[in-house]
Amino acid sequence: LKWQLRTDGPIKSSAVIADGRVFVGSNDGHVYALDLSTGRRLWAFKTQDAVEAPPLSVGRSVFVGSSDGTFYALDAASGELRWKHVTGDKILAAAGWAASPTDAGKTWILVGSYDNNLHCLDADSGRVVWTFVSDNYINATPAVADGKVIVGGCDDVVHVLDLAKCKPVTQVAVGAPIVAGGAVAGGK
């Protein structure tokens, strides 16, 4: 054992590693950043409820949802809050990201919530780009490919959306809730 992290609650979040740091959430309501080599705590950010969603590291930011219904953008180096977006319910899945198809050089963050929505947010400001409403929770990590967002919902449907316009392209009913993220490779 090289090192370990003890928190005041269970860790249900998957850890994410980026730039020599480990980012992980805990049911004690914190997001932690640790040095990958030593396990030394670099910072901790307090939310208002459990953090079961795995963080997403993009550029100099870490994005993570909480059971408090808030999606947080944190500075990866310091843990300082950059912005937050309040949804209508808890967030348990990791977010996804995509290069904006309409604003060159911009990044969009995609996060599902138990408010039945997939939220598309500007990574720099937290501004809402669009919101897709489904018939049940979205507890899956969205995948992005070829200008499309693919996300499963607890409404038993795989939704395929046009990334730029948030327009449904197609949907596939699978007969059971989808709680895990998908992957896209080779057009499949």
pLDDT at 182: 85
Integer angstrom CA distances of residue 90 from 12, 53, 66, 103: 15, 10, 6, 29
How many residues does the structure list for the chain? 188
- pTM of the predicted protein model: 0.95
Alpha-carbon distance of 121 to 14, in angstroms, equals 22
Rg, Å, the chain Cα set: 16
The residues, any chain, with a CB within 8 Å of residue 6's CB and separated by 6 or more, are none
**pLDDT given for residue 27 in this prediction:** 98
- Bridge-partner residues for 64, per DSSP? 72
Please tell me the predicted confidence (pLDDT) of residue 2.
Answer: 95
pLDDT in tens, the chain (188 residues): 999 999 999 999 999 999 999 999 999 999 999 999 999 999 999 999 999 999 999 999 999 999 999 999 999 999 999 999 999 999 999 999 999 999 999 999 999 999 999 999 999 999 999 999 999 999 999 999 999 999 999 999 999 999 999 999 999 999 999 988 888 888 88
The DSSP bridge partners found for residue 58 are 61
Of all helices (H) and strands (E), which one includes residue 24? strand 21-25
Q: Are 84 and 74 in contact (CB under 8 A)?
A: no
